[in-house]
Amino acid sequence: MTTKCHSFGVYSQICSVLFCSAAVYCSRGSFVAVISLFSFCEVIVASFLASLIFTMAAIKSALPDAVTGTFNYFAFGSNLWSKRLHMGSPTAVRKGFGYLENFRLDFFHYAARWRGAPATIVEQQGHRVWGALWEINATNLPDLDKQEGVHNQVYKALTLPVRTPSGETLECRVYQLVKNPAPLEGGEEERPFERQPSKTYMDVIVRGAKETGLPEDYVRFLETVKHNGYTGDPQFEIDLAVQDKNL
């Protein structure tokens, strides 16, 4: 609203200057030419202001800031589980679930905390990655970036369209590894050791997928991901209580 009011004020000032100029020229007998010039300038100014307002709206929807107060976040890994996400972003509120079109879920790099490869999204036609939709207060953005290792160039933040089962599309913050793997040559059984997540990590993801209510066939796919058998950092595992038999 502030941007629009300010833009209207600028527009009014410009038009006033043009009108005064028109009056001066009118006194010299150039009425028709000046009116034409005035109309042309008015169209140019209006087009510029419309473009400015559209650009500001796009920036506002893509970036969390003090004006909006919150941002949409799409989680496909350990942050599917509310307990994990709330450890660093306590303001997160679940808003349902959705999917990224033409991306696949994969695992790469190495996370010491999890003792295995963390999840990432990789562009690939014909694939979908399902995940949780969260609305988070902008005050937790630095915490989320830190969790994802953005400052260490482990993950990078993207803004991508996420589709919901109802057909709605939301622009969401999504994290992708800076270095992504090539497609697996075979199935999950062929997943190399260096690209295997830990058992603890996959337990958290599956727990989160069930809590989120992701499609059953996708949950079954997650349960087939080949892991390295390792458990995560002992204290971290206790904090998450992933040894719960009711997983």
d(Cα 132, Cα 141) in Å, to the nearest integer?
17
- Residue 66 assigned as binding residue: no
**Helix, strand, coil percent values for the chain (each to nearest 5):** 45, 25, 30
- Residue 201 assigned as binding residue: yes
Q: Judge whether 189 counts as a catalytic residue.
A: no
Amino acid symbol at 193: F
Tallying the residues shown for the chain, one arrives at: 247
- Residue 110 assigned as binding residue: no
Amino acid symbol at 48: F
Beta bridge partners of 8: none
- Residue 77 assigned as binding residue: yes
Residue 207 burial by CB count (10 A; 0-12/13-18/19+): exposed, middle or buried? buried
- Residue 198 assigned as binding residue: no
Contact 56, 2 (CB under 8 A): no
| Active-site annotation holder among 101, 148, 211, 223 | 148
Contact 80, 212 (CB under 8 A): yes
- Residue 99 assigned as binding residue: no
- Residue 73 assigned as binding residue: yes
Beta bridge partners of 121: 105
Contact 14, 52 (CB under 8 A): no
List the binding residues for substrate: 73-78, 201
- Residues annotated as catalytic are 148
List the binding residues: 73-78, 201
